[in-house]
Copies of this chain bind each other. A is one copy, B any other.
Amino acid sequence: MDIDTRSEFVESWGSMGVLWGINRSMARIHALLLATREPLGLEEITEELDMSRGNASMCLKELRHWGVVRRVNLTGERRDFYIAEDDAWSMLFRIASERKKREFDPALSALQKVLASAGEEDDLVKDRLEELEEMLRAMDRLLQRFLASEGASRGMLKFLSAQIPYRSKKGE
């Protein structure tokens, strides 16, 4: 694959990462793995993306935690290698759910509390906040519809997992 094109993709994906709340390094690593056929080792990643081992290691740990990246062992290789999981949806799905829970839902319920306590005399405020609540609920529905589509595009699991000749490792 064209190397310039790939690095442009890596950087774009890095910028977009903030949209779903992951930092640039994580998103860049994820992009690199997505765009690469072969599993990559820490060495290759730090080299290609020009970042420290420590940072890369931490990012990979988190990416694995989100279920977005998997660690594999190649026969004859001592080092660890990493590949992107096949369903990129899961990243969005999990991270978005998490953020929704942490940031969205509290605001929604606070708003509903305000609404409940707004006396009838507060017409202006009440109308405005009702509109706001409607907006949040619209977002909620939209988000849910989006998240519900997770799994829709599964099924093309003709993926690396099996075909990479690898041996298992304890403590995985």
Binding site for B on A (CB under 8 A): 1-2, 5-6, 8-9, 11-13, 15-16, 18-19, 34-37, 84, 86-89, 92, 99, 103-104, 106-107, 110-111, 113-114, 117-119, 122, 124-125, 127-129, 131-132, 134-135, 138-139, 142, 145-146, 149, 153, 156, 158-160
Q: How far is the CA of A143 from the CA of B144 in the complex (A)?
A: 13
Nearest 5 interchain pairs by C-beta: A12-B110, A12-B107, A16-B107, A2-B117, A9-B114
**A1 close to B145 (CB less than 8 A):** no
Q: What copy number does this chain have within its complex? A: 2
Q: Which residue of B lies closest to A109 (CB)?
A: B12
Q: How far is the CA of A99 from the CA of B15 in the complex (A)?
A: 11
